[in-house]
Amino acid sequence: MATVTASVADVCRAAKRASRALAQFETAVKDAALEAVAAALEGRMEEILAANERDMQAGREADIGDALLDRLRLDEARVAAIARAVRDIVALPDPVGEVIDGRRLPNGLDLRKVRVPLGVVAVVYEARPNVTVDAAALCLKSGNAIVLRGSSSAAHSNAVLGRVVSEAAVGEGLPEGCVSLLASADRGELAELATQSPSVDLIIPRGGERLKEALQAVATVPVIYAASGNCHVYIDASADAEQAEAIVLNAKTQRPGVCNAAETVLVHADAAPTLVPRLVRSLQAAGVTIRADDRTRALAQAAEGAASGPPSAAGNGRPPAGDATQTFEHATEEDWATEYLALTLAMGVVDSLEQAVAHIARYGSGHSEAILTRDAAAARAFQRGVDAACVYVNASTRFTDGGEFGMGAEIGNSTQKLHARGPIGLRELCTFKYLVEGDGHVRA
């Protein structure tokens, strides 16, 4: 596997050479290589987990926080899931050569619009070692070479996983340089990678706003930003209360350190007197800190003061979690715009669906937004009015994921509108070309 023992430019040039060969491989060859990758992940489990434990220990010593540690952690079940995702990709149709459109022109020329690989894809990512495998598998299946640049917090995990993927793929006949890992911790390496336009066809950064800003300042290579997810759940006046409680808890607490976790809940004023106290009790019991507007605070504190109050109807008899004044913080302007990636949630009351849509337009990141409602007209208005890659009706934002969408895995979730939007899977890693066939045609 190539590393920066030479230079970033040399690694990218080697990847470009590999991409030209890789683009011509038959599906069966690529699939056999990915099967070998999955088997190698399972067979080298002990080596992978030992490397990950070194990263975990360093993370604990650096006090990087529970959410980041969760993103970093590998165990046997997670490595097995990564291997399954590789096999899921094997089972998917090969996008290369797929005919998008085709017709005979009036002049007799036969025209086909066909998917082809992008070439060399560079992926920059933070503290998620599974991305090393997911991204490589997607790129190899779609006929692309890949240059990986992970974070220093996952350096040992990424190094082992990169070797496993590269050695297995090359061992099955794929070209040297098809999978490369930039191993240096030098931040200048990122700027150098972002300017390798002769060799790199696309960069996909998977990380926070600081990574996005760093690339925007220097990149000459095209970029698809798999950036932050400031996701909202809006509870409409007609929402089913039990369903709303279950969805909010899932969207916020199932895995708070990921980009499709909810960061803000908005509740319609007509539903708020009942729903706000109920949600607050459940979220408090789950350990969530709530940063609330004045109306939310007043409703929750009034309910807290009116005797002990009943347990949550869907909460399995949970008692109230304690004095609401101790678990609320006042929501600031910054809170509405924050991707917490932790057990912290902003909550507010709105007077209408239109007000909720306007709030999302102002503070959302274009990732995933949800409405909970039994009103079909309200659902349609939300779907039309919200500008995001994924818009949900009566479902958790946690479903925004390539695996959940049947893509096998994903490199990230694009919040842009051009080329790719939402989960970046096999088809999103392709471009197209026109194949035109004639029989001695000349233009008059």
Can you give the pTM of this predicted structure?
0.86
pLDDT (average), residues 390-406:
95
For residue 279, name the pLDDT band (cuts at 50, 70, 90).
very high
DSSP state of 287: T
| Distance from the first to the final alpha carbon of the chain | 53
3-class DSSP state of 224 = coil
pLDDT band with cut points at 50, 70 and 90 for residue 305: low
Residues whose CB is less than 8 angstroms from the CB of residue 129 and which lie 6 or more positions away in sequence, other chains included:
52, 55, 72, 74, 150, 154, 157, 158, 161
d(CA 120, CA 13): 9
**Top-confidence residue, 150 or 303:** 150
Quote the pLDDT of residue 226.
81
Domains and CATH numbers, the chain: 8-226+411-437 (3.40.605.10), 231-399 (3.40.309.10)
Residue 206's pLDDT is what?
A: 85
The average pLDDT across 58-62 equals 95
| Mean pLDDT along residues 200-217 | 87
Q: Within its chain, how far is the Cα of 172 from the centroid? A: 30
| Angle made by CA atoms 198, 201, 205, in degrees to the nearest 5 | 120
Model confidence at 79, pLDDT cuts 50, 70, 90, reads: very high
Beta-carbon contacts of residue 429 (< 8 Å; ≥ 6 apart): 95, 117, 118, 121, 138, 139, 142, 144, 411
Q: Give the model's pLDDT for residue 437.
A: 97
**Beta carbons within 8 Å of 444's beta carbon, 6+ residues apart:** none
pLDDT at 315: 43
